[in-house]
Amino acid sequence: MAETGTETQTETQTETIAFPQNRSCPYHPPTGYPSETRGQQSVTPVRIYSGRTVWLVTGHAEARSLLVDPRLSSDREHPEFPLFAKRQAEITQRRVELIGVDDPEHNAQRRMLIPSFTVRRTAALRPQIRATVDGLLDAMVEQGPPADLVNAFALPVPSMVICALLGVPYEDHEFFEAQSRKLLRGPEASDVEAARDALDEYFRVLIERKRRDLGDGLLDELIVKQLETGAVDTEELVRLAEILLVAGHETTANMISLGTFTLLQHPEQLALLRAAGAFTGDEPGSGMPAAVEELLRFLSIADGLSRVAVEDIEVGGVTVRAGDGVLLSTSVINRDGSVYPSPDELDLGRNARNHVAFGFGIHQCLGQNLARAELEIALPALFERLPGLRLAVPAEDVPFKPGDTIQGLLELPVTW
C-alpha cells in the first residue's frame, strides 16, 4: 500500500535524514543517503534546512520517469519549490531563466540556444578546443613542475572555450570566475546576492557595448535575433548569459580536475586507457568517450535536482502529493546497482551512457555535448603530453571545495 504525502509519511518516521550532506570521499555519495543498493526505498522522505520534509529520489528508473513527467515543475517561483540550502532561500528570489522555468517558456528559450550546442556545432569546435588545450600544456611544460592543475589547466580550458563561444572577453576571467564561485558556494546569502548583482551589471554593460559594436559570438547573435526583435528583454538576456557562462565553465573545470585526480588514484584504469591507445592522436582514442561517460557517472559532481509536484504522482511505492517538494540525488541514482553492476567501482570500460549526470528530460544540460568534447580532448592530451603526471602531495592533502551539492578541487598540485 502506498504511503500518501510527506507529512503523513513522516508521522511514522522516528528520524528523517537531513539533505544535503557532505561527502566523506570525493568519489562516493554521502553515506547517510538512502540507497537501493543497500536495500532501501528509492523514494524516501528527507528533511531540509527549514525543517520541511520533502521527497528524495535515489532510484535510476524512478528518477528518469519523474524527470520526464510534466506533473513535476522546475518553476523556482512556485511557492512550494524546495530550496534546500538556507542561503538560497534567504536571497531575493527572482525568475531563473532556462533551468528554472517550465514549458512553454522553457521550450522557447531552449530553441534560441540549441543551434549553438548541437553535436554537429560542437564537433566544429573541437579543433579550437584542441588548440586551447595544447596552448595551456605548452605553457605548463615551459614553466616546469610542479603546478596547480586547477589554475594552470582545468579552469582555463572551459573558461577560454565558453568565452570564445559566447563572445565574452577572456581577460575578464578572474572577475567572472570569482563571482561564479561566490554564486555557487557563497557561505552567506549576502555573498550569493552580491555575486549575482555583480554579474548582472557586468552583462548589462557588455550587452550595451555589443549593441554598438557587434561581434560574432552567441551573445551577439542573441542580441540581433532575440533582443532587437523584442523576443526577449535586456534583463532576460542578462540572466540567460549568466547561466551559460557560469554553467559553461564551472562544472567542466571541476570534472577535468577531479577526473584527473580520480585517474591518478586508479592507476590500473589509467593503464588500461593507455594500452587501448586512448591518449594518442588529435581525436579521442579508443575507449576515451566511454571513459568520460563512466567518470561522469562515477563522480556525479553536481548532486541535487529540485522539483515541485503540481499534481499527485505515484512513484516508488509512495504518493507524491501536489505541492510536495522532490529532490533527486544524481550521485546515488548513478550508483543504482540494478543498472550498474558493482556501481561503487570505477570501470572505464562499462557502458555508462544512460547516467543522469547531465540530468534527463526537457531540462537535460544544454551544454552536455560541449562538456563531453572538452573532457574527451583535455584528459587524453594531458596524459599524452605529461606521461609521468602524478600528485605532488599525498592524496589526503589535496584540498577539496567546500560544499554539499557541487564537488570539485580548490587546487591539484601535480608534478611530472
* Per-residue pLDDT, 37: 55
CB 328 within 8 A of CB 36: no
Enter the DSSP assignment of 136.
H
Q: How many domains does the chain have?
A: 1
**Tens digit of pLDDT for each residue in 257-311?**
999 999 999 999 999 999 888 887 556 556 899 999 999 999 999 988 999 999 9
CB 378 within 8 A of CB 126: no
Q: What's 75's domain CATH number?
A: 1.10.630.10
* Per-residue pLDDT, 7: 47
CB 388 within 8 A of CB 416: yes
Rounded to whole angstroms, how far apart are CA atoms 59 and 335? 9
Rounded to whole angstroms, how far apart are CA atoms 291 and 286? 10
Q: With 70 as the cut, is the pLDDT of residue 9 above it? A: no
**Tens digit of pLDDT for each residue in 369-392?**
999 999 999 999 999 999 999 999
> In the structure, what pLDDT confidence band is assigned to residue 230 with cuts at 50, 70 and 90?
very high
* Per-residue pLDDT, 392: 99
Cell numbers at 73, concatenated:
515543475
Rounded to an integer, the average pLDDT of 342-361 is 96
Q: With 70 as the cut, is the pLDDT of residue 235 above it? A: yes
Residue with the bigger pLDDT between 279 and 166: it is 166
CB 309 within 8 A of CB 326: yes
Q: With 70 as the cut, is the pLDDT of residue 136 above it? A: yes
* Per-residue pLDDT, 84: 84
For the chain, the helix, strand and coil percentages under 3-state DSSP, each to the nearest 5: 50, 10, 40
Q: With 90 as the cut, is the pLDDT of residue 28 above it? A: no
Tell me which residue range forms the domain holding 70: 3-415
Name the average pLDDT for the chain: 91
Q: With 90 as the cut, is the pLDDT of residue 102 above it? A: yes
What global pTM score does this model have?
A: 0.93
Long-range CB pairs of 180-186, under 8 A, 24+ apart, other chains included: 180/245, 180/246, 180/249, 180/250, 181/250, 183/246, 184/246, 184/250, 184/403, 184/406, 185/401, 185/402, 185/403, 185/406, 186/87
Rounded to an integer, the average pLDDT of 189-209 is 95
Rounded to whole angstroms, how far apart are CA atoms 95 and 93? 7
CB 354 within 8 A of CB 340: no
**Tens digit of pLDDT for each residue in 385-414?**
999 999 999 999 999 987 767 899 999 999
**Tens digit of pLDDT for each residue in 51-93?**
999 999 999 999 999 999 999 999 999 999 998 888 777 777 7
Contacts of 197 (CB under 8 A, 6+ apart): none
* Per-residue pLDDT, 79: 93
Rounded to whole angstroms, how far apart are CA atoms 327 and 49? 13
In what side-by-side order are the strands of the sheet with 313-315?
3-4, 318-320, 313-315
